[in-house]
Amino acid sequence: MKFSIQINEGPYQHQSSDTAYQFTKAALEAGHEIFRVFFYHDAVNVATRLAIPPQDDRNITKLWQELAEQHKLDLVVCIAAAQRRGLLDEAEAKRQGKDANNIATGFRISGLGQLIEAGIQADRLIVFGD
C-alpha cells in the first residue's frame, strides 16, 4: 500500500510527530511505500536545524532525517506555515531579504499543491494531529 503522511502538531507540544514517525517507520519495515510526508501548521517546526533538544530527549528532526535518507522519503514543509514561524530555506530567505536560513537537511519547503498531490498519489492519506 502507498501512504502519504500529514503531520499538523508541533514536535514538542504533542505526540503527533512521534506517532507519525513510528507509523512511517513501521509501514516501511512492513514493505509499504511512503509517497510523501507533509509537515503542516506547527509541525513545520520539526524541520528546523536550530533546535537542540536535551541529551536525554529524542531528536525528532534527526530521526526524520535518518529515516528519509535511508528510505529516500520526500519531507515537505508547508511554505505558508513555515514563513509564519520563521522557518526559511536558502532561496526563501534570499527572496524575503533575510540574512539566514534554518531548514534542516533533508526537508524542503513547498506549497499546499504538494499535499493535494500526496493525497491523489497515495492509497491513503494519514493525518496526525488536529
| pLDDT value of position 22 | 98
Confidence check: pLDDT of 36 > 90: yes
pLDDT tens column, 45-66: 999 999 999 988 899 999 999 9
The domains of the chain are located at: 2-128
One DSSP character per residue, 9-33 reads S-TTTSSHHHHHHHHHHHHHHTT-E
Catalytic residue of the set 7, 37, 78, 104: 78
Which amino acid would we find at residue 44?
V
> What distance in Å separates the CA atoms of residue 13 and residue 10, rounded to the nearest whole number?
6
Per the confidence metrics, is the pTM higher than 0.75? yes
- Give me the CATH code for the 2-128 domain, please: 3.40.1260.10
- Check if 78 is active-site: yes
pLDDT tens column, 76-98: 999 999 999 999 999 999 999 99
C-alpha distances in Å from residue 75, one per residue of 24, 54, 109 = 12, 24, 9
